[in-house]
Structure 1
Amino acid sequence: MAENVVLTGTVLPNSEVERGIVEDAGANLTIINVSSKEELIESAANPVGIMTIETKIDESVMDAFPNLEFVSVHGIGVDMVDVDAATDRGIPVFNTPHYCLEEVATHTLSLILACERRICQYNSDVKSGGWEYDSAGTVTRLSTKTVGVVGLGDIGLEVIKRLHGFDVDIVGYDPYVSAEDMSQHGVEKTDFASLCENSDIITVHTPLTEATRNLLDASAFETMGSGVTLVNAARGGIIDQAALYEAVENGTVAYAGLDVLESEPPEDERLIEFDNVVVTPHAAWYSADALAELQRTAGENVAEFLSGTVPEYVVNRSALE
């Protein structure tokens, strides 16, 4: 009897790509569109593997399925998986770390430009009958700005590569990247407080972990000067949304470009009602090309593991030891 792999919490138009790859590797793929881990536990039939897009996979899920051998994430971030619990149980966790680097980087630049050049405000004003170049307030040259990049992983570096074309000064905060490595990318390494204090534009590209949850909180906003542009295309939980609301209201954050929120879709809409807050629906990753690569890579991770090969993209390699 073929082994059973479950794909859960799918928001994709279909998962035939993954199904073909997994079934070619000799397993069955069962697609269960559930909204919680509890529903997953009730619905899944003794899987050897779980492919998740957004369903939380913690120790209760792992313990419910004694034959579970792997967890595969459709995405770069694995914050929906308790990786420590998986490692303790010898369960490798796979991800798809490169599928949307170009998309998120260009989307980030789009949000920065939309904020700095007041694109959305101008658009709304013109459609309401206006035609004034200064209707959205004072605009200054991008080349006069210092951009603070929080997180210099693959996406952060892609953003930095594109920022250099705008002749901005760039400072970076990442405790895992040395000053020497940053300098090779034209970035001055700084601590987080200094980045907040000295940046005109702050863009967030760190993973969501216990260390980075609410990294930008009320105390962080207090260190910023007035009129900062803040962009987040990483994870909503990295920013304390209540604190951001206060920062926008009092002018510390003059413009915010957000592709991610604490809850998605938003439960509290006060923040997104500000005219100077530009919001997109967690779409920075998306292009037809990225979607195809995401599904293919996720399927190939599973197929390689089922065939006895260690996949290239294993988050917790110590689980295989």
Structure 2
Amino acid sequence: MKAIVVDKNSADGLDYSIQKKIFEENGIEFVLEDCQTEDEIIEKCKDADALLVIYRQITPRIMDALEHCKVILRYGIGYDVIDVKAATERGIKVCNSPVHCLDEVATHTIAMILAMERQLVFYNDLVKRGQWLANAGFKPHRLSSQTLGFVGFGHIARRAAEFAKGFGFRMIAYDPFLPEEVVKASGAEKVELDQLFAEADIVSLHTPLMDSTFHLIDKEAITKMKDGVMIVNTSRGPIIAIDDLMEAVKEGKVKSAALDVVEGEPITVANHPLFETGRIICSPHAAYNSVEAEQQMMEVLAQTATDVLKGKNPANIVNKKELGLV
């Protein structure tokens, strides 16, 4: 049996030694590839029993060429790079690492909120230019006077809400899939999306990327928000229509935005238009990152692949219901 990583260099600095050890102990050959195209994936990975992917799109055409594949695994929580419907139709299990970076992404979310409200990046840039101006930029507000709105209230958002409690925010959440008591137990009030837009001083995005959430935050949605709203995205870039966001920041409708993910990422050019206003801060899709999170993810995915190849059905099969395994 063979487990193949499609794009080993798509994320910098990953250590695959933990996975190599787990696979070898279970008699599974472990191969690291760095495929760039669909054809290259087909050529180099067609004999995989387990396919592991970071960012490359795994399409139906690729799946049709996988002669023995039983499972496709995504490095991370989100799995939108995999056509899950096509995998299900071919009897292939799709798995993720659902909880390895909850603390990290929740922490990053709070850090971005603080950086925006306290203008840390803006002030730092001023001081570096020799401008010692405490009242430059906008006047910040006390956090306990503000409403923090979560769009999507899954595990990460609920962990962020735990962290946010200490700052005294009023918290509201939109999540059509969660009962009200779950939202309330985390200290938030369940609301409809338009109400969240109307009342939130800070909108924090925690929803997966689906057809229904693509460009969820666009010009029309932003129009419904408070003047001077702040927006945080630590989920998926295409949830925000980036041109609409940049326009709203320039016009002052959006006071500030903090993005760990961006539509069209990675950003690899200097002086990108995103940063013209000085009111958008960005990190390179790094919210998940820590020593502990990486180790846990590597262990979970290697053990999950091993379990599937041995005929088991681990809990993190995302299409378990569709495959009739529950």
Q: Could you tell me the TM-score, scaled by structure 2's length?
A: 0.94
Instruction: Give, in whole Å, the separation in 1 of the partners of 2:187 and 2:153.
Output: 12
Q: CA deviation at 1:320?
A: 5.5
Mapping 1:100-249, distance limit 5 Å:
100-249=101-250
What is the one-letter code of the residue matched to 2:166?
Answer: G
1:317 match:
320
SS in structure 2 opposite 1:197?
helix
C-alpha distance in structure 1 between counterparts of 2:290 and 2:282, whole Å: 18
Tell me how far 1:37 sits from its aligned partner. Answer: 2.6
Structure 1 position 266, deviation (Å):
2.2
2:70 is aligned with what amino acid?
E
Task: Give the match for residue 283 of structure 2.
Answer: 280
Given that 2:231 and 2:257 are in contact with CA atoms closer than 8 Å, whether structure 1 keeps it comes out as yes
Distance 2:46 2:17 in 1: 20
Q: Counterpart in 2 of 1:298?
A: 301
1:60 equivalent in structure 2: 61
Structure 1 match to 2:2:
4
1-side partners of 2:116 and 2:255: how far apart?
Answer: 9
- For residue 45 of structure 1, report the CA deviation from its aligned partner: 4.1
**Partner SS state of residue 195, structure 2:** helix
Cα distance between partner residues in 2 of 1:21 and 1:86? 25
How do residues 7-46 of structure 1 correspond to structure 2 at under 5 angstroms? 7-10=5-8, 11=11, 12-46=13-47
Moved more, 110-119 or 299-308: 299-308
Q: Which moved more, 1:194-203 or 1:310-319?
A: 310-319
What SS does the corresponding residue of 1:299 show, helix, strand or coil? helix
RMSD: 1.4
Paired residues, number:
319
Matches of 1:266 and 1:50 in 2, distance apart? 27
Equivalents in 2 of 1:140, 1:232: separation in Å? 21
Inter-partner Cα distance in structure 2 for 1:67 and 1:292: 28
**Partner-residue secondary structure (3-state), 1:50:** strand
Contact 1:25 / 1:307 at 8 angstroms: preserved in 2?
no
Gapped regions of structure 1 (runs ≥ 5) = none
Is the 1:90–1:320 contact (alpha carbons within 8 Å) kept by the matching residues of 2?
no
Counterpart residue identity of residue 161, structure 2? I
Letter of the 1:298 counterpart:
L
- 1:94 is aligned to 95
C-alpha separation in 1, matches of 2:124 and 2:194:
35
Other structure's SS at 1:148 match: strand
Runs of 4+ in 1 over 4 A off after TM superposition: none
**In 1: Cα distance, 2:136 partner to 2:91 partner:** 59
Give 1:267 shift: 6.7
Which runs of no fewer than 5 residues in structure 2 stay unpaired?
none
Contact map agreement 2:46 2:65 (CA 8 A) in 1: no
- Indicate if the aligned counterparts of 1:92 and 1:320 stay in contact, CA closer than 8 A: no
The Cα of 1:273 is off from its aligned counterpart by: 3.2
The 1:45/1:180 distance shift into structure 2, 3 A limit, reads closer
- Paired amino acid for 1:289: E
Asked whether the 8 Å contact 2:54–2:74 carries over to 1, the reply is: yes
User: AA paired with 1:172?
Assistant: A
| 1:172-195 deviations in Å (ceiling 9; x for gaps) | 011101222212222111111111
* Stretch of structure 1 that moved more, 192-201 or 112-121: 192-201
3-state SS of 2:72 partner: strand
Mapped partners of 1:309, 1:13: distance in 2: 27
Identical columns (%): 34
